[in-house]
Chains A and B, each alone.
Chain A
Amino acid sequence: MRITRYPGLSAFTLSALLALAVMLWNYVADVGIAGTGGAALALFGTFALTAAGILLVMTRLPGWARVTFKVLIALGLIGTSLAAFFLHAWIVLALLIVATVAFVISLIL
């Protein structure tokens, strides 16, 4: 099982997926930010993080590609968390913090 092989990345991916789901709801229905450019940006960010996580967990990538994706994930986490902070999307931000912890664990393990 690749999921058990990459517990940190798997937890990261699951958190990012949940953040994506909440952000999708925020984009559609959340009073204050629904339909805004900022919400769209955060939605894209959570989608990209989820996609990158799935890619890393589910596929065999060459070493340089894995490193590249991990750098992009780090940047994505910072940018998307900042967006969630300024959108006052607190649940998304909390999930991204969990994702960040899981991602750091994946780097250590």
Chain B
Amino acid sequence: MPLLRTLLLTAALPLSAAAQTSTDWTGFHGNLAAQKFSPLTQITPENVTSLERAWELHTGDLSLGDGDLPKTIWSATPIYANETLYLGTPFYRILAIDPSTGEEKWSFDTDSTLEALTQPGLKNRGVTYWEAEEQTGRICDKAVYIGTMDARLFAVDANNGVPCEEFADGGQLDVNQWNTTNDKWPLSLLQPPTAYGDQLFVGWAGKDWEYAEAPAGTVFSIDARTGELQWTVEFIPSEIRAKTGTANIWTAMTVDEERGILYLPVSSPSPNYWGGNRTQDIPLATSVTAVDTETGEIIWSRQLVHHDIWDYDTNAAPTLVDLTVEGEKVPALVQTSKQGMLYVLNRETGEPIFDWEERVVPASTAMGEKASPTQPFVTTPEPPNASMEWPGVWGFADLMSFGYCSRKAAELDYQGLFTPPSEQGSLIWPGTAGGMQWGGGAVNPETGIYYVNTSHVVQILELFPREEYDKAAGGSANESGFYPQTGSPYGFELTQFVTPTLGIPCWKPPFGALLAYDMNTGEKLWEEPFGAVQQWGFYMPESWGSPTIGGPALTASGLLFIGASMDDRVRAIDAETGKVLWSDLLEAPVVANPAVFEHEGEQYVVFVSGGNTILKPEVSDQVVAYRLPR
């Protein structure tokens, strides 16, 4: 019956971007509610072991960073819509792929500059697919969009890759025209825009570790057909916009289609680790903020970190789900965070559904700094990072480093979560590469069971007064190394807390976990170490887990598909128990969510194996599609 089912679905397809069939995978997180949930049931816990590669391709858009080009860091989720699989590459090309064979239908090259203008590599998180609410029969009634590092947004026809002439300047919009305050770098469009109705919501990325004064965070709503600016939301108060910046949205966004509300995960202000230039309240920074999709007016905002001096960007689109809490239906959202807490809010009001308290946190000793005296804490759901205390020195690492770990831990300032950066050197738990990253969590909308992967990463942050920094500064990498924070009295060095020679983590494993929660009650259902750490090619025991970047996709049949770990594996997990049922080895870590969809009656799971230097140096341009044997 697959053909009949496909025909029925096609006939029922309304002419609306918001009403794509749910067996498609039309956005970065599957649907606009960021649930990463597929209703498909063809692949089950019983037959997943027979899953096989349907096809594999290499895009060719790969740089190892050893030539003229910066390294590629590819975190794309493939988009399945219009009977086609769409990919964006870190060379800023769009590929349209036949989902059953992996053959290229067409490609489009933006001819963008391949320079790391704002990031430590060439980054891309894919493309946006849009269908006009009113199909006119003209070119670009269905369109695909890709952004570039140099702040241009391209629109092409989804059927053939021809530029949309009606869109801005011949199919190309210069978003940097709106970069008007502290325009020290371009508004890099690495995360694809969010399409809703006939609107595109555009956020951008920058480098908030480089300068104190930086572009102030904005989200633009533009007309998907013409590129015309409809409204802008700004997150830094106008009176201090010149002396600070960012609080931008560099990750995906969520839309409540029923209520017409756009949810924005807002990042921290600049610079990352010193806030003496921004001691006034910036209530929208490091928040989840709800705005009216029609006007851009703010409906509510909830700050997750006050006066953020830890780079705890809200870094993933919140997941929308309707819960039953103490017998009452509650429209909720679940917001993951780098600081390791899960925030469950009423998505109409922004009010916490479970507990929420302000706790006193340590004061800062840095020059000119005024750390917030309190920070918000939630204990329900129980934070994935097990406790708010760092795991402590790992005896094995301490032994292998002849006591380095315990000596170093004793030298560092550590007063619990929200220990401020210091000249002494602060132990930061969770580190900025820890907690939960941009893959976010997945939820079954029928049951409210929520799944999320998390990293247990401890970092050391040391502030260097300007003169010392100028003498000491070495190189920088991705989320580690030296960064100047020009315009502030401090540069800083961020390092992983590992042993000097062997690079063994100084803190106790597990280094990452996968968890399930019943969000109706906030109860944790299970927690399992997830993935395996790899060093010099050696795989460590799976009971140690792995730091993860990227996230899961959930199916109605009770399977979680996820890459994310250091060991380059993709896995299918039993959603009931957390046990690994199937895995396959790819060329690099999958650092985004996979796509799960049905094409011509067959269920596919597609992973992009792009890699990210936060996890390990290896990167790739591999795409692999799985399905059951025919």
Contacts and interface: CB of A to CB of B under 8 A. Distances in A.
A87 B568 CA distance: 13
A87 B534 CA distance: 9
Interface string B428-462: 00000000000000000000000000000000000
A86 B539 CA distance: 5
B537 A33 contact: yes
Contacts of A36: 536-537
Contacts of B536: 36-38, 41
B369 interface: no
A31 B568 contact: yes
Nearest to A33: B537
Contacts, number: 28
B33 interface: no
Interface string A22-56: 00000000011100111101000000000000000
A83 interface: yes
Given A31-B568, A32-B567, A37 B585 contact: no
Contacts of A38: 535-538
A89 to B, nearest CB: 9
A88 interface: yes
Interface in B517-556: 534-540
Contacts of B540: 86
A41 B534 CA distance: 15
A83 B536 CA distance: 11
A33 B537 CA distance: 5
A38 B537 CA distance: 5
Nearest to A87: B537
A39 B534 CA distance: 12
B623 to A, nearest CB: 14
A36 B568 CA distance: 14
Given A31-B568, A32-B567, A32-B568, A83 B585 contact: no
Contacts of A39: 537
A31 B583 CA distance: 14
A32 B538 contact: no
A88 B541 CA distance: 11
B539 A87 contact: yes
A39 B535 CA distance: 11
A40 to B, nearest CB: 8
B586 interface: yes
B538 A83 contact: yes
Interface string B236-252: 00000000000000000
B590 to A, nearest CB: 13
B587 interface: yes
A33 B534 CA distance: 9
A50 B535 CA distance: 26
A88 B568 CA distance: 13
A56 B219 CA distance: 73
Contacts of B539: 86-88
A32 B585 CA distance: 7
Given A31-B568, A32-B567, A32-B568, A87 B538 contact: yes
Nearest to A34: B537
A7 B394 CA distance: 47
Interface string B572-595: 000000000000011100000000
A50 to B, nearest CB: 21
A31 B611 CA distance: 13
Contacts of A33: 537
A83 B537 CA distance: 9
Nearest to A88: B539
B537 A37 contact: yes
Nearest to A38: B537
Contacts of A87: 537-539
Report which residue of B535, B538, B585 has the largest number of chain A beta carbons within 10 angstroms of its beta carbon: B538
Interface string B3-16: 00000000000000
A81 to B, nearest CB: 13
A103 to B, nearest CB: 24
B585 A31 contact: yes
A12 to B, nearest CB: 25
Nearest to A37: B536
Contacts of B534: 32
A38 to B, nearest CB: 3
B400 to A, nearest CB: 15
A36 B537 CA distance: 5
A35 B565 CA distance: 20
A31 B586 contact: yes
Report which residue of B536, B567, B585, B587 has the largest number of chain A beta carbons within 10 angstroms of its beta carbon: B536
A59 to B, nearest CB: 34
A29 to B, nearest CB: 11
A86 B541 CA distance: 9
Nearest to B609: A31
B587 A31 contact: yes
A36 B567 CA distance: 13
Contacts of B537: 32-33, 36-39, 87
Contacts of B567: 32
A20 to B, nearest CB: 17
B540 to A, nearest CB: 8
A39 B567 CA distance: 15
B585 A86 contact: no
Contacts of B587: 31
Nearest to B568: A32
A39 B537 CA distance: 6
21 contacts: A31-B568, A31-B585, A31-B586, A31-B587, A32-B534, A32-B537, A32-B567, A32-B568, A32-B585, A33-B537, A36-B537, A37-B536, A38-B535, A38-B536, A38-B537, A38-B538, A39-B537, A41-B536, A86-B538, A86-B540, A87-B539
Given A31-B585, A32-B568, 12 more contacts: A31-B568, A31-B586, A32-B534, A33-B537, A36-B536, A36-B537, A37-B537, A38-B536, A86-B539, A86-B540, A87-B537, A88-B539
Q: Which 9 A-B pairs have the closest CB atoms?
A: A36-B537, A38-B537, A37-B536, A86-B538, A33-B537, A38-B536, A38-B538, A39-B537, A32-B585
Interface of B: 534-540, 567-568, 585-587
